[in-house]
Copies of this chain bind each other. A is one copy, B any other.
Amino acid sequence: MTDRITDSVLYRHLWGTDEARAVLGEEGRLQGWLDVIAALARVQAEAGLIPEQAAREITEHAQAALIDLGYAAGQTRQSSHSMLGLIRALQAVLPEDARDYVYAGATVQDITDTGTALALRRIGGLAWRDLRRIEARLLELAVEHRDTAMPGRTHGQPGSPVTFGWKAASWADEIRRHLDRLREGAPRWLVGQLGGGTGSLVFYGDQGPAIRARFCAALGLADPGISWLTARDRGAEFTQLLALICGTLARIGGEVYELQRPEIGELREAVKDGTVGSITMPHKQNPEASEHLDTLARLARSSAAVMSEAVVQQHERDGRGWKAEWVAWPETCLLATAALKIAIGLTEGLIVDAEAMRRNLARHGGYQVSERALALLTPRLGPRVAQDRLQRALAGGRAAGRTSSQALVQDGLFSPAEASYLTAEPDTGSCQQMTDLITERAKLARAAEPQEWP
């Protein structure tokens, strides 16, 4: 049985995707490390440091499925060494003649940091794919609702109208920036690590850098140039990006959460069959995906912050920050993949109630007309007078329970015909133009880039 609720049989789907778990879970983690150990053996064999046969056998047996986890665990605890349990468990399944050649000259971080880079490639790939899918959906919404007027809201209060397409375009544009960041960061992140004890490569004599280069290449990673056992900015940057991505998704979720209030009713999560919102209050439909995006963003920020703190390390290895990374790095990744998956469901199923948006624009006397009215009055009266008189007219009208149209006429600012025209149709300003600009820009970027990362 698992202990962390994030891995609970009942709740695991909320805190990570199966795809990410396949990479970062016990088996995926060990397999990643075994892949690195096998690659190291092959490269050492090529360099004549260990027998070819041993490297072949190590490669063949370096399968998580073959490892006796209980034995590995026992040896880990007995030795208090992070990697020795796995090494001994691998040796236990190897033929006698290959056993000695496992993990020769390596240090734990050579294996785990390189393993993390391999995992990062897969997690980054999932993020790239899912972000592009979300972007595609948001662009669809932007196009579809290019002209769907709704109240803009600032400080929670309705203001000048916007369009829902424009809102979706703003989300898509933020996602696009995350895609840019993912692309730009890849060369920094996808590097291997080989250095031995203090990172000096002393085990390999003169061949150190050459062996490291081949080792990285064998795993499809770039060569770092220098050991980075305590240079931890890479992981911090990556997880901070994931936390930012979660933040963006939580922003989208928050919008749905608020606009799904029945008093507003402009957006709504799709509800799948069988969902029970509340047992005691069976009429309720809760914005569960939306609110969970916020939850995930909080936790992702918290984990990413641990990674930032871990940038400050001492000397050539520093277990304090490094072991914190052991937990925080995969945690951030798991949370982010869950957020991406949930955001896909949310955006793809999103129900947009254009009628409610329209209705809400008309509510409360249509006072969101004010900015447009100000624009029209400004050339007539000058900005200050326009502002003062408009403010007085609207405040007075509101207090008296008039519609904005009545208020504008009452105060002599507009003729009834003007006022009626002014308030008849929401003026969404340049929302449509901005939406077009963003969707066009995104379309070009999408066409120019690969579907796979990196």
Contacts and interface: CB of A to CB of B under 8 A. Distances in A.
A26 interface: yes
B308 A278 contact: no
Interface string A266-303: 00000010111111111111111001101101110111
Interface stretch (A120-128, A131-139, A428-436, A446-454): A428-436
A260 interface: yes
Interface residues of A, number: 197
Contacts of A375: 105, 202-205
A86 interface: yes
Interface in A358-404: 360, 363-364, 367-368, 370-372, 374-375, 378-379, 382-385, 387, 390-391, 394-395, 398, 404
A411 interface: no
A235 B304 CA distance: 17
Contact of A155 (B12, B272, B317): B317
B208 A156 contact: no
A61 interface: no
A420 interface: no
A226 B308 contact: no
Interface string A91-104: 00000000111111
Given A237-B181, A244-B308, A283-B367, A374 B203 contact: yes
A139 to B, nearest CB: 13
A199 interface: yes
Interface string A413-454: 000000000000001111101110110010000000000000
Given A3-B7, A330-B4, A387 B279 contact: yes
A335 to B, nearest CB: 9
A233 interface: yes
A405 interface: no
Of A50, A275, A280, A294, chain B has the most CB atoms within 10 Å of the CB of A280
Contacts of A4: 2, 4, 6-7, 327, 330-331, 334
Of A178, A311, A430, chain B has the most CB atoms within 10 Å of the CB of A430
Nearest to A316: B152
A250 interface: yes
Given A1-B27, A295-B319, A375-B105, A250 B312 contact: yes
Contacts of A173: 225-226, 228, 231
A45 interface: no
Nearest to A80: B275
A76 to B, nearest CB: 5
A40 interface: no
Contacts of A177: 188, 233-234
Interface string A331-367: 1001000000000000000000000000010011001
A72 interface: yes
Of A87, A272, A315, A427, chain B has the most CB atoms within 10 Å of the CB of A315
A69 interface: yes
A278 B106 CA distance: 10
A394 to B, nearest CB: 4
Contacts of A404: 283
Contacts of A372: 202-203
Which 10 interchain pairs have the tightest Cβ spacing?
A: A152-B198, A202-B429, A247-B311, A200-B429, A208-B430, A3-B25, A154-B317, A282-B391, A153-B315, A155-B286
28 contacts: A3-B334, A4-B331, A4-B334, A5-B29, A5-B327, A78-B274, A81-B277, A102-B383, A153-B314, A154-B229, A157-B262, A159-B278, A160-B200, A170-B227, A173-B225, A177-B188, A198-B371, A200-B429, A227-B434, A251-B311, A263-B263, A263-B264, A263-B363, A276-B391, A284-B367, A295-B320, A298-B310, A301-B309
